[in-house]
Amino acid sequence: MLAPAMAEVVAVAAESLAGSRARAARTVLNQVVLPGEELLLPEQEDAEGPGGGGERPLRLNAGARSRVRVVCGPGLRRCGDRLLVTKCGRLRHKEPGSGSGGGVYWVDSQQKRYVPVKGDHVIGIVTAKSGDIFKVDVGGSEPASLSYLAFEGATKRNRPNVQVGDLIYGQFVVANKDMEPEMVCIDSCGRANGMGVIGHDGLLFKVTLGLIRKLLAPDCEIIQEVGKLYPLEIVFGMNGRIWVKAKTIQQTLILANILEACEHMTTDQRKQIFSRLAES
């Protein structure tokens, strides 16, 4: 995926090293950015003249709030008034749909190692049961803790039926670098919404995080084509884990192989494989 971009990267790196000046985020959209680059937000572009002194011209309405709130997403950090790139990848931007302005900037990068993030739905494996909590391995630096009361309809007397080795689909409520991550299997209203223990059988395998996001995109063709093959069930975890289940073991394995391989296939190759499968 990044092979054709390597030529771009070299050209871009040379340019930016020579200039060593912050670029406007607007001009770099959908291009490769490297860690250490600083990006200017649209409001600050007019301040940076050709000399690049960095002084902002006085405005008449200095008191009024002329800046809009911008969200910097994964791969970016705040550095004074600018955005600092921390991961290499393509810079993306999303316009705000409604209400508060500014939009979201983020870096579309590829990695295999998951870092727990609050609000993410993940698939975890129960590794230990100690007292009132379960220890769940989510692929992060430490196992997440899951309280037995965090299931729908669970009370002190009515404990959920969870054993060591079960697969759990849940979301994080606490996930930062200072504390142990905590997850739950209910939402804020107390309903399960599909979370909880994932059923028996099926196959769990690991893919890169970028592939998960690609497959969960609203207009993903791969999922639509896969759904036409035969009855099946898939669960995607944002930690790079996918669980699949079909009626027979062979179908399950075919599905797992397709999903793992489709990261490196072109559209034509994929269509070939699907048509061959549909025939058999």
Considering the complex, what minimum distance in angstroms separates the CB of residue 151 from other proteins? 16
Size of the site for other proteins (CB under 8 A): 48
Q: Do residues 144 and 182 touch, judged by C-beta distance below 8 A?
A: yes
Residue number with CB closer to other proteins (106 or 134): 106
What is the SS3 string spanning 198-252?
Answer: ECCCCEEEECCHHHHHHHCCCCCHHHHHHHCCCCEEEEECCCCEEEEEECCHHHH
Binding mask 75-114 for other proteins (x = CB under 8 A): -xxx--x-x--------x-x-------x-x-x--------
Least Cβ distance, residue 150 to other proteins (angstroms): 18
In whole angstroms, how close is the CB of 106 to other proteins at the nearest point?
Answer: 5
DSSP letter, residue 28: G
C-alpha to C-alpha distances, 176 to 179, 193, 200, nearest whole angstrom: 6, 24, 31
Minimum Å distance from CB 40 to other proteins? 12
Q: By CB under 8 A, tell whether 69 contacts other proteins.
A: yes
Q: Does 203 bind other proteins (CB under 8 A)?
A: no
Closest Cα partner for 232 from 247, 219, 218?
247
Whole-number Å distance between alpha carbons of 256 and 234: 10
Which listed range, 53-61, 133-141, 160-168, 234-242, lies at the site for other proteins (CB under 8 A)? Answer: 234-242
Contact with other proteins (CB under 8 A): which of 144, 226, 254, 259? 226
One of 237, 240, 252, 254 touching other proteins (CB under 8 A)? 237
**Distance between CA atoms of 136 and 123, rounded to whole angstroms?**
9
Q: Which residues in 159-198 contact other proteins (CB under 8 A)?
A: 169, 193-194
Report which of 112, 119, 163, 122 is spatially closest to residue 143, judged by C-alpha positions.
122
Q: Which stretch binds other proteins (CB under 8 A): 158-166, 178-186, 226-234, 259-267?
A: 226-234
Is 67 near other proteins (CB under 8 A)?
yes
CB atoms near residue 227 (< 10 Å): 11
43 touches 66 (CB < 8 A): yes
Rule CB under 8 A: choose which of 112, 113, 118, 159 binds other proteins: 118
- By CB under 8 A, residue 227 contacts other proteins: yes
Task: Compute the distance between CA of residue 170 and CA of residue 237 in angstroms, rounded to an integer.
Answer: 9
**Closer CB to other proteins, 13 or 204, in the complex:** 204
133 vs 273, which CB is nearer to other proteins? Answer: 273
- Work out whether 119 is an interface residue with other proteins (CB under 8 A): yes
Beta bridge partners of 133: 130, 147
Which are the contacts of 192, defined by CB distance < 8 A and separation ≥ 6? Answer: 151, 152, 185, 186
Site residues for other proteins per CB under 8 A:
41, 67-74, 76-78, 81, 83, 92, 94, 102, 104, 106, 115, 117-121, 169, 193-194, 213, 216-218, 223, 226-228, 230-238, 245-247
